[in-house]
Amino acid sequence: MGKRGAARAAASRGPNAGARDGTAGSGMLPVGQDVIQPRILHAFQRALFIADAETARHSARVGAAAAALGRSMGLPEGEVRQLRAAGILHDLGKLVVPQDILDKPGRLTAEEWIEIRRHPAVGADILLAVSADLASLADAVRSHHERWDGSGYPDGRVGDQIPLAGRILAVADVFDAVTCTRSYRSHTLGELEARALLVAEAGSHFDASVVKAYLAVRANAPTGQRWVRTGSRPSSWEPTLVEATR
């Protein structure tokens, strides 16, 4: 079977067929199997860094985490490389969001949220303008704020409607955002608090199978001394999570 035939077959089996049946791949690359060219990735990364160094550093960490997650889930190396690129580019659309909104501490107004919520679709549109072959990468970027229960944005996709790459990015993005200092948020979670947050949100915000895989990835990470809570999630975490996932 040729490359296009294999891609069509993978697509017809659904987005997670490979992960389910143990055959090659997750179906994440149904259009072109090409990962974005390194010089284009570097140019976008440079633009992100010039616009907002903090977001660029966060994005590099999300790319590394998403790649580690994909590798731990048994995805082929081509898809792992694409996950790294998707992590680096997941907030590409923030280039069009005013910096004072991105950096605003505390709660955003309804109008400011509308501005922020443009960024997944804008990022995807930029990648599609580079090449139609980047459709799966663009869809990963577009879907990184979707939620398993359908309450995310921009499309309100539910469960398996969200591409696996988007579900992986969601976990990697939120974990990094809550554990690292961001200008718009005063509260930072420790390793174990952040793991507990993922567990609490598995099946609602996140794909539970991706959370399980990420907990295994982080099993040997240093936990520090910040673990103070057990049991149910304090209600005060909900705004923290929302603020963490701009």
* Catalytic site positions: 94
Which one, 91 or 146, has the nearer CB to Fe ion?
91
The phi and psi torsions of 182 (rounded to 5 degrees) equal: -125, 150
Give the shortest CB-232-to-Fe ion separation in angstroms: 27
Which one, 19 or 116, has the nearer CB to Fe ion?
116
d(Cα 47, Cα 53) in Å, to the nearest integer? Answer: 9
Identify whether the C-beta of residue 244 lies closer than 8 Å to the C-beta of residue 178: yes
Q: Is the dihedral of CA 40, 45, 46, 47 positive or negative?
A: positive
Which one, 17 or 101, has the nearer CB to Fe ion?
101
d(Cα 67, Cα 209) in Å, to the nearest integer? Answer: 16
Give the shortest CB-231-to-Fe ion separation in angstroms: 30
Size of site (CB under 5 A) for Fe ion: 1
Which one, 62 or 67, has the nearer CB to Fe ion?
62
Q: Find the residue with minimal CB distance to Fe ion.
A: 91
Among candidates 197, 196, 180, which has minimal Cα distance to 188? Answer: 180
Token pair belonging to 9:
């077959």
Query: Which residues in the 56-115 window bind Fe ion by CB under 5 A?
Result: 91
Give the shortest CB-144-to-Fe ion separation in angstroms: 6
Give the shortest CB-90-to-Fe ion separation in angstroms: 6
Beta bridge partners, 155, equal: none
Query: Which residues in the 199-218 window bind Fe ion by CB under 5 A?
Result: none
Which one, 19 or 97, has the nearer CB to Fe ion?
97
Give the shortest CB-112-to-Fe ion separation in angstroms: 14
Q: Give me the residues that bind Fe ion (CB under 5 A), please.
A: 91
